[in-house]
Amino acid sequence: MLASFCYHFVSPDLLTSQTRHAIFLPIHRKHRYAALLLSTSMNNLQLQEGFEFPPSQFRIDAATVTDFLQATGETSALLKNSSFVPPMAIAARAIGSLGIGSLVPAGVIHVTQQLEFLQPAKTGTTFSCHTRVEKYVARAGLTMITVGITVTGDAAAKVLIGKIGFILPPEVKTP
Amino acid sequence: MTVDLSPSTPLPPVQTAISQEMINLYAKASGDFNPIHIDPEFAKKTAQGGTIAHGMMVLAFVNNMMAAAFGRDWLETGSLDVRFRSAAKPGDTVTVKGEIKKVEPGDNGTRVRCAVACTNQSNEPVITGEATVRVKA
């Protein structure tokens, strides 16, 4: 609880890149608080092209893989009885860690998704997600952003890259 | 791999009934706890009128179809390029279909492009797009 409280009240302006990085290290529900912090940054109109999100890190263990497989109805033996992390679970966690959905709850629309799986990863891997705004277009009252993600695993090997397209609701001001 | 690598070959479809329990579990696995997905009271007041599944959760159904058809090749070399057309809700049954569109032999295996689509029980599109995999010899 104390940690959560601190996350809420740390001003983003006071954070160095190292402390931001540290805040993104916690796993599970603490991501939500990190997301709130991130959304503060985004409301500060930093979503221009080239804006790089603070890197996030997350670990995917066997229990998370089990939850993911149950949630998605995946029953193939290829994933169910192996030590591999489903690449879609990595993508899900990477996107979840961005906290984009917390920017304006129920207002952000996820419209497009590109993903490319580069190599498999094993359970227990700690992943790093690097995210950058690649396109920012404000037109006719709508704001469309394309965010590029790169996820690396052990030894900084790239495991997944992708692009996510969002439409922001009109109340999110453009820069 | 279980499919014939020829253009127009359909991929074995995958059908999944979506429940709120699955959505809650997906939220836990992904770390995306947006209330539009998991809080019925909040979601009731939105334009959707109720909770909706994460788009990435429905996209995982496409992944399931491709993994079943292409096995480990899909997990190691797969790519997706899709558009989310509408939201899927608890109680919906989503059907994923695919068809091989193009087969391009190359030095590092055969590149197979597939059209993929998810529809709900009313045959409304939920996701449309393309999946590509490099099938090793």
- Mutate which of B38, B64, B76 to disrupt the A interface (most A C-beta within 10 Å)? B64
Predicted pLDDT of residue A100:
58
Q: Return all residues near A92 (Cβ < 8 A) that are at least 6 apart.
A: A68, B26, B29, B30, B32, B54, B56, B57, B60
Which residue numbers of B have CB closer than 8 Å to A's CBs? 14, 16, 22-23, 25-26, 28-36, 42-43, 46-48, 54-57, 59-61, 63-64, 67-68, 71-72, 74-84
- CATH class of this structure's domain B10-135: alpha beta
Higher pLDDT: A33 or B52? It is: B52
CA A44 to centroid of chain Cα atoms:
19
B1-7: average pLDDT: 83
Nearest to B83 among A29, A64, A112 (CB): A112
DSSP A86: P
Contact criterion met (CB < 8 Å) for A68 and B56: no
Q: pLDDT band for position A18 (50/70/90)?
A: very low
For chain A, positions 85-104, list CB contacts with chain B under 8 A: 86-89, 91-93, 95-97, 101-102
Nearest to A67 among B25, B32, B34 (CB): B25
CA B112 to centroid of chain Cα atoms:
17
What is the share, in percent, of chain B residues with pLDDT greater than 90? Answer: 80
Predicted pLDDT of residue B93:
97
The whole model's pTM is what?
A: 0.81
A42-54: average pLDDT: 70
Contact criterion met (CB < 8 Å) for B60 and A113: no
Q: Which residues in chain A have Cβ-Cβ distances shorter than 8 Å to B16?
A: 72-73
Contact criterion met (CB < 8 Å) for A72 and B33: no
Give how far Cα A23 sits from Cα of A3, A16, A45, A129, B10, Å. 10, 11, 21, 14, 46
- Mutate which of B30, B33, B127 to disrupt the A interface (most A C-beta within 10 Å)? B30
Burial A4-18 (b: 16+ CB within 10 A, else e): eeebeebeeeebeee
Burial A28-42 (b: 16+ CB within 10 A, else e): eebbbbbbebbbbbb
Q: Is the pLDDT of residue A172 over 80?
A: no
* B106-132 confidence digits (pLDDT tens): 888 999 999 999 999 999 999 999 999
Domain map of chain B by residue range?
10-135
Q: Which residues in chain B have Cβ-Cβ distances shorter than 8 Å to A91?
A: 56
- CA-to-CA distance for A112 and A161, rounded, in angstroms? 14
Predicted pLDDT of residue A84:
87
Provide φ and ψ at A105, rounded to 5°.
-50, 135
Average pLDDT of chain A, as a whole number: 71
Amino acid at position A57, single letter: Q
Predicted pLDDT of residue A171:
56
- Residue A72 burial (C-beta neighbours within 10 Å; 0-12, 13-18, 19+): buried
CB B27 within 8 A of CB B62: no
CB A144 within 8 A of CB A14: no
Nearest to A88 among B16, B59, B71 (CB): B59
Higher pLDDT: B115 or A141? It is: B115
* B48-94 confidence digits (pLDDT tens): 899 999 999 999 999 999 999 999 999 999 999 999 999 999 999 99
CATH architecture of A2-168: Roll (3.10)
CB A113 within 8 A of CB A166: no
Strands (E), chain A: 56-59, 84-85, 109-117, 121-122, 126-139, 142-152, 158-168
Predicted pLDDT of residue A110:
84
ipTM: 0.91
Q: Which residues in chain B have Cβ-Cβ distances shorter than 8 Å to A113?
A: 55-56, 59, 80-82, 84
CB A128 within 8 A of CB A136: no
Predicted pLDDT of residue A106:
52
Contact criterion met (CB < 8 Å) for A113 and B82: yes
Q: Return all residues near A21 (Cβ < 8 A) that are at least 6 apart.
A: A54, A55, A57
